[in-house]
Amino acid sequence: IHDFGSDRGIPYLVMELLEGCDLRGALEGGGWSRERALRIAVAVAGVLVETHRIGLVHRDLKPENIFLERTGERENVRVLDFGIAFFDAGDGEGGGLTDEGTIVGTPYYIAPEQAAGILVGPPADIYAFGCLLYEMFTGRTPFEGSAIEVMSSHLYEQPEPPSERAEDVSPRLESLILGMMHKTPKWRPTARQVEAELRAIAREHDVVLDVVSELPTLPQELRVLAVGDVDRELVAALTRQGIHIERVDRVGAQLSQVSVIFAADCSLSAIRDLVATNVPVVATLDRGDHERSVKLRELGVAARLPRPVDPSRLAVELARVVRKRRDAQRTTTLRLRGAPRVTDR
């Protein structure tokens, strides 16, 4: 969530606009392959590694919460909707109930301990991910029927081996999926073990994994100009992340090597001039300042960040903006190369 507030009594949220489709749409839309499934699976596993590392449990992994963002020729995987997620204290007691006696999760991907209404931890995400993998590689969910029937199956029945539903499921992949769906949480692999095994399986099938990435990276040659009141601590924090920001009082005419401009606490007129340079601009605003948010969007600002600016958030936005610009330039170049030549007769 970038921002929130109320406009004329109507509450609103400002969220990132993603272009692409969710995993459900991809599964049903055709063009599916084992190679693409492995790339997406490795990316999702990487997200779980990081979320579990900080003690966060998603609790509702399903195709609708996996978004495949299309940027040019790249497909970036986003895990969405942490609305019922919680932080696991790491004391072995879990924390899986929103209220006592309330079951959270989606029946087709719910772990047995969730279906039983008891406390859960990171292994519940592993089970749900196993159900996702089962569907991604067979085209069917592990269990089918009504919600009650499916939840009962998660509790008491073993899924049909994936290889009996799809020919191209290798023994190694099948072993991983069934291990992730073990009824007993402690016998399931960790997210890091799942990621390592998926990468090994991908190598066996000569699948290139760098096509899918969870977060974009900033190239070393990236040049960021910062205009306005830029906090020294923010610059230092970004420098520690390998991002060099050049602070300037004003932007000159030589902008050919500039990748993005960070406008910190700049006036709208100043931002208008910056946007006119045709270099992507990332600007700041106060939380809840709906009027400025709308005006920044109308001016063509590439991204808006609430103050105080979080260094990690800024790094991700800078990378996203630069990546989109370069993808757009690459697409334009390809189109120009493919255009028919016009000659005078």
How confident is the model at residue 16, as a pLDDT?
76
**Which of 67, 65, 76 is CA-nearest to residue 108?**
65
Most confident range (mean pLDDT) of 60-74, 149-163, 201-215, 226-240 is: 149-163
- Please write the tens of the pLDDT for every residue from 77-110: 989 887 666 666 454 444 444 444 444 568 999 9
**Which of 268, 330, 323, 328 is CA-nearest to residue 300?**
268
Distance CA 12, CA 147 (A): 33
Residue 157 pLDDT more than 90?
yes
> What is the 8-class DSSP label of residue 181?
T
Residue 345 pLDDT more than 50?
no
- Please write the tens of the pLDDT for every residue from 275-307: 988 888 999 988 778 888 889 989 999 888 888
Residue linked to tokens 């069917």 = 140
Distance CA 173, CA 168 (A): 10
Per CATH, is 224-338 categorized as 3.40.50.300?
no
How confident is the model at residue 166, as a pLDDT?
92
224-228 and 260-264 as β-strands: parallel, antiparallel, unpaired?
parallel
> What is the 8-class DSSP label of residue 264?
E
Residue 336 pLDDT more than 80?
no
Residue 342 pLDDT more than 90?
no
Which residues 6+ apart lie within 8 Å of 203 measured at CB?
none
Bond prior to 308 in cis (omega within 30° of 0): yes
Fold annotation for 19-204? Transferase(Phosphotransferase); domain 1 (1.10.510)
Distance CA 332, CA 321 (A): 17
- Give the residue, 258 or 197, on which the prediction is more confident: 197
- Please write the tens of the pLDDT for every residue from 14-66: 877 778 889 999 888 766 889 999 999 999 999 999 888 888 888 899 999 99
- Please write the tens of the pLDDT for every residue from 104-141: 568 999 999 988 888 789 999 999 999 999 999 999 99
> What is the 8-class DSSP label of residue 71?
E
Q: Hey, where are the domains in the chain? A: 19-204, 224-338
Residue 243 pLDDT more than 80?
no
Active site residue 60: yes
- Please identify which of the residues 3, 60, 88, 125 carries the catalytic annotation: 60
How confident is the model at residue 159, as a pLDDT?
96
In three-state secondary structure terms, 267 is coil
**Which of 16, 21, 36, 10 is CA-nearest to residue 209?**
36
Whether the Cβ atoms of residue 61 and residue 105 lie closer than 8 Å to each other: no
Whether the Cβ atoms of residue 297 and residue 44 lie closer than 8 Å to each other: no
